[in-house]
Copies of this chain bind each other. A is one copy, B any other.
Amino acid sequence: MVDVADRAGVSVKTVSRVVNNAPYVRQDLVDRVLAAVTELGYRSNGLARTLRSGGATSTIGLVIEEIGNPFYATVAAAVAEVASTHGTMLLTASSEEDPQREQDLLLDLCSRRVDGLLVVPAGFDHTFLRVEVEMGTPVVFLDRPAGGLLADTVLLDNRGGAEAGIRHLLARGHRRIATLLDSTAVYTMAERLGGAQHALAEAGITGDPALIRDGVADPDTAAHVTADLLDSADPPTAFFSTNNRITVGVVRELWRRGSDAALVGFDDFELSHLMPRPFTVIRYDTRELGRQAARLLFQRIDGDDSPPTTTVLPTRLVERGL
């Protein structure tokens, strides 16, 4: 900057003004500065600017669970869109489901002085963020609630969706309904299982433990478990799948053996109309999840200091076939 100022025969402050399009600079000085800038290949240092001006970095941080997962990719895309509206860039990091890594990333992001934080929690204790929040860095939690921290949260109606799914099957006369889930340790899974069991209990059905299958981590396992259940002495007449990956496996197995068992799956499919066998899904708007959370965050960044809110996004049962 000093070099540019020397070259243009002005003070650094004038260079600063020109670079920032400040008003009240004589045109000939502007021209001289701009000429010096291009001749010298000068590029302003945004870091130094924020340091001195104490202003916003125009950056927000997003910490998700697993960047490779389409669900999070969609959330990130929606967040990025809102951020771009606010002239803000997005710093994305993946916690890989590791609470320690989550904390490190979050603290790193704070050290980079992001204007706000969006978090899909992996850990269960976010008290370490209290300092940041008090110091003025807003935090919004997505998809899962925060641990030990009162903060804005945007969730899906996992319980309601699962209840609707089970009721749909009950209304069609099903009494033996199998529930396949990944892990009860994950908040969303626990909620969906809870909703399913609640709807079942409501109908006076005492759940058969053999019909609840935990640890179904991928489509292959789901297909296996489905086969196993169908081959049992008293097979289920309907399946409730608690996520996309599981649904893929169940559909595949059902289709393979031409079974007419009913299926309701949590999460919709993009190419649902190309599925070999129709099935009912519990749909929700992943983009909206990211969008709402991002909007909320920018409200906070813009100074809104009303009490933290919890938003629950609706799910919708989309009936297809059996």
Contact = CB atoms under 8 A, between A and B. Distances in A.
Interface of A: 41, 43-48, 50-51, 57, 59, 67-68, 70, 73-74, 76-77, 80-81, 84, 89-94, 107-113, 131-132, 134-135, 248, 251-252, 255, 269, 271, 273-276
A226 B111 CA distance: 55
Select the residue from A47, A50, A51, A76 with max chain B CB neighbours within 10 A: A47
A40 to B, nearest CB: 9
A68 B93 CA distance: 17
Given A48-B51, A89-B93, 11 more contacts: A41-B135, A43-B107, A46-B108, A46-B111, A59-B112, A67-B77, A73-B74, A81-B94, A84-B94, A271-B271, A275-B276
A80 B67 contact: yes
Number of copies of this kind of chain in the complex = 2
B274 A43 contact: no
Nearest to A78: B68
Contacts of A89: 91-93, 108-109, 112
A22 B107 CA distance: 19
A113 B68 contact: no
A215 to B, nearest CB: 23
A200 B91 CA distance: 46
A41 B44 CA distance: 32
A118 to B, nearest CB: 13
A112 B43 contact: no
